[in-house]
A = this chain, B = another copy of it.
Amino acid sequence: MAGKDDDFVVTPWEVSGKVDYDRLIELFGTERIDKKLRARIYRLAGEKHILLERELFFSHRDLKWVFDEYEKGNKFFLYTGRGPSGSVHIGHLVPWMFTKWLQDRFDTPLYFQLTNDEKFWFNPELSIDQVKQFTYDNALDVIAVGFEPEKTYLINDIEHIDILYEIGVQVARKITFSTAKAAFGFENSMNIGGIWWPALQAVPAFLHSWIYGTKTPCVIPCAIDQDPYWRVTRDVAERLGYYKPASIQNKFVPGLQEGGKMSASDPMSAVLTTDKPKLARKKVMNAFTGGRATAKEQRELGANPDICSVFKYYQFIFMPDDNELNKIEQQCRSGEILCGECKQILASRMIDFLEKHQAAREEAKERVHEFSAARLRDEIKR
């Protein structure tokens, strides 16, 4: 939550206004990922990553400690999640691609929670069958990102609750309604499922250590709006004999329209992973840019990439090469390239990307079981 005097709101349920990320770091009490930490990550990973270079991942908790442990030989595991309340769009994939990079470079297990119970509780209009369908559909997108099946566990809350519940029961006893109210702003009108939910969102942060009887650090790649959950999780962790989970936090991936993050609920703002090429192109060609009112004016004065959604998509996903990005930025500012042409470049890349993703997503249908957290049942000694 932002302060009273801030003109933006960031909670797990609402992101609005122009988010001031420096202020958010201050409000949430997280740490900025500075040059030194970035260099350390690159050294340990053996390569750079554009989402760190370009500061989409900008904030963290306890990463330095995680790498200290790592260098001592105590490897970490990853935990992230997705609330299956609708279709996946390109904006969702960006942090997952970064998570895949972490998995690949650090050779870590990944627990990926599909929070269908949460979405059912927080979206009164969704039916149980709808959240189940979204869970399956979204799982295909997760798998299509290319995670390592041997090390990736997709947790479907309703289906795999038996794997989570015993830890959840213990977490829940440590969180009072007062605490949940303070952290999440719950009112008395909140349903009792939603109130219990923070216990269950904490569970995967402890799951690996619980199953294997270890004390293994956990790193959570996630958007910064989830931080209130991790504050509560961190509060209970040590009292339950676990390490506090660390996190590496990203800014919101902007939508194609002006302001706000890409959202599946605003159809034109989001390119869905299942969009046909024609529709994807249409959405890109309708994107909000930093262009001028007329072509003539733009040729003379140049455009503004700082506020342009197309440029953000180059930055975070479609133009990983710095030279190319610098060149197009310069062409934009100088008026050498017009927005229509620039959007055509993005549309082509978007469509190429979508085609590959959609093929992988189709293949994923045969492979869902390979990623299922059901495999963990055999590991749990009761």
Contact = CB atoms under 8 A, between A and B. Distances in A.
A376 interface: no
A345 interface: no
- Interface size class, chain A: 35 or more
A11 B31 CA distance: 48
A176 B188 contact: yes
Given A161-B161, A196-B193, A117 B188 contact: no
A33 to B, nearest CB: 32
Given A121-B169, A128-B169, A165-B158, A193 B199 contact: yes
A305 to B, nearest CB: 45
Contacts of A162: 159-162
Contacts of A165: 117, 158, 161, 165
Contacts of A187: 177
A129 to B, nearest CB: 11
A149 to B, nearest CB: 22
Contacts of A188: 176-178, 181
A121 B169 CA distance: 8
Nearest to A382: B159
Interface in A112-169: 117, 120-121, 124, 128, 158-162, 165-166, 168-169
A39 interface: no
Contacts of A121: 169, 172-173
Contacts of A186: 177
For A117, A176, A193, A199, which residue has the most chain B Cβ atoms within 10 angstroms? Answer: A193
Contact of A176 (B175, B181, B190): B190
Nearest to A172: B193
A188 B178 CA distance: 5
A192 B199 contact: yes
Copies of this chain held together in the complex = 2
Contact of A191 (B120, B174, B190, B382): B174
A189 interface: yes
A199 B128 CA distance: 16
A223 interface: no
Given A159-B382, A161-B162, A191 B172 contact: yes
A62 B173 CA distance: 35
B169 A120 contact: yes
A303 interface: no
B191 A175 contact: yes
For A121, A186, A188, which residue has the most chain B Cβ atoms within 10 angstroms? Answer: A188
A168 B121 CA distance: 11
A348 interface: no
Nearest to A177: B188
Contacts of A158: 165-166, 169
B189 A124 contact: no
A1 to B, nearest CB: 19
A195 interface: yes
The 4 closest A-B pairs by CB, nearest first: A172-B193, A196-B196, A162-B162, A161-B165
Given A121-B169, A124-B173, 15 more contacts: A121-B172, A158-B169, A165-B165, A172-B191, A174-B191, A176-B189, A176-B191, A177-B177, A177-B186, A177-B187, A177-B195, A178-B188, A192-B199, A193-B196, A195-B195
